[in-house]
Chains A and B, each alone.
Chain A
Amino acid sequence: MPTATKARAAKADALRVRRVRASDMANVIALDAHVTKLPKPDYWDDVFRRYGKQRLHERFFLVAENRADRTKPRLLGFIIGEVRVWEFGSTPCGWVFALSVDPEMRLHGAGNALLEAMSAEFKKAGVSKMRTMVARDARLPLLFFRSEGMMAGPYIQLEKDLD
């Protein structure tokens, strides 16, 4: 096998996506605080309770880790989604509402592996459409979701100042 191919295969081998565990939460909270500059441990406790422990057939909180060093796997990122039924008059579909990869570990396929794992979970749950919502000026996630083949959906998000 050529060296470059071998290196890629080893990298792919080291990358694993699995369901979140309680022991991941300190790393998830630290990653989120690092990325958003807004530590919110209470929020994450609540998210873990709801998406990491309940209704697991339709709620998915997945993490990607690098297991090159098996004794010390490193958290690369996480994704959270759920099957939502009949919202906005739509047939059931999978919603992704959080996706984050460690800034130092980006562009090595972790985001892609997380989204693919989520797609597989959604399919197993019986839905055939995956949706998400991204801020118009959030270039990185937009470029990423587009590269994954996502197109604009049939809904327009509206808002109003309540004054």
Chain B
Amino acid sequence: MRLQISTQLAIFAVLELAAREGQQLSVADIGEKYGVSSHHLAKVMHVMGRAGLVRSVRGAGGGYQFAGNARRTTLLDVVQLFEDANSVEQDGGAADATPEGQALRQVLSEIDDIARATLGSITIATMRKLVDRHATGNGRQSKAGRPRQRGSLAP
């Protein structure tokens, strides 16, 4: 499964902000850690601000704060802001009406259903615990088996 860059950035930003509730981070802080431009990140933050997941703090040292509930916000809540959650919907082409098109759709929907159930069952708080496991080298699913080089934001 692949997520668009904006979606990944949104998840990273929420994870960073949720790790520091009540504090704020600038897009430059987050952008530096993940190697992305502040411009790209600002657009992502704007979308999340409209959805009430983050709030901007004005003034010197301004930035963003997490505004959601980390124990009740799931990855799906974030992903749905940037991706079409029903990606296997028919596109209206002639192939959709054929038995072949329907069979393929059935298989792809199976994959989508699993992806949705996975993203919908993992909260930001659960993700933070998983992040911490990787940071201490216990992330079982980590291909490299070791935590990545830490950015300036790493706790």
Contacts and interface: CB of A to CB of B under 8 A. Distances in A.
Interface of A: 136-137, 139, 142-143, 145-147, 149, 151-152
B140 interface: yes
A145 B129 CA distance: 13
Given A136-B117, A146-B122, A149-B130, 12 more contacts: A136-B113, A137-B117, A139-B120, A139-B121, A142-B120, A143-B123, A146-B121, A146-B123, A147-B125, A151-B140, A151-B141, A152-B118
A20 to B, nearest CB: 28
A136 B126 CA distance: 18
Nearest 3 interchain pairs by C-beta = A142-B121, A136-B117, A146-B121
B3 interface: no
Interface residues of B, number: 17
A20 B91 CA distance: 55
Contacts of B118: 152
Nearest to A144: B121
19 contacts: A136-B114, A136-B117, A137-B117, A139-B121, A142-B117, A142-B120, A142-B121, A143-B74, A143-B121, A143-B123, A146-B121, A146-B122, A146-B126, A147-B123, A147-B125, A147-B126, A149-B130, A151-B141, A152-B118
Contact of B129 (A143, A149, A152): A149
Interface in B75-121: 113-114, 117-118, 120-121
Interface of B: 71, 74, 113-114, 117-118, 120-123, 125-126, 129-130, 133, 140-141
A31 to B, nearest CB: 24
Nearest to A142: B121
A76 B130 CA distance: 29
Contacts of A147: 71, 123, 125-126, 129
Contacts of B71: 147
Contacts of B129: 147, 149
A151 B123 CA distance: 13
Contacts of A146: 121-123, 126
Q: From A137, A146, A151, A152, name the one whose CB has the most chain B CB atoms within 10 angstroms.
A: A146
A146 B133 CA distance: 14
A24 B126 CA distance: 33
B79 to A, nearest CB: 15
Contacts of A137: 117
A139 B121 CA distance: 7
A105 B98 CA distance: 51
B116 to A, nearest CB: 8
Contacts of A145: 121
A152 B141 CA distance: 10
Nearest to B120: A139
B129 to A, nearest CB: 6
Contacts of B114: 136
B143 to A, nearest CB: 14
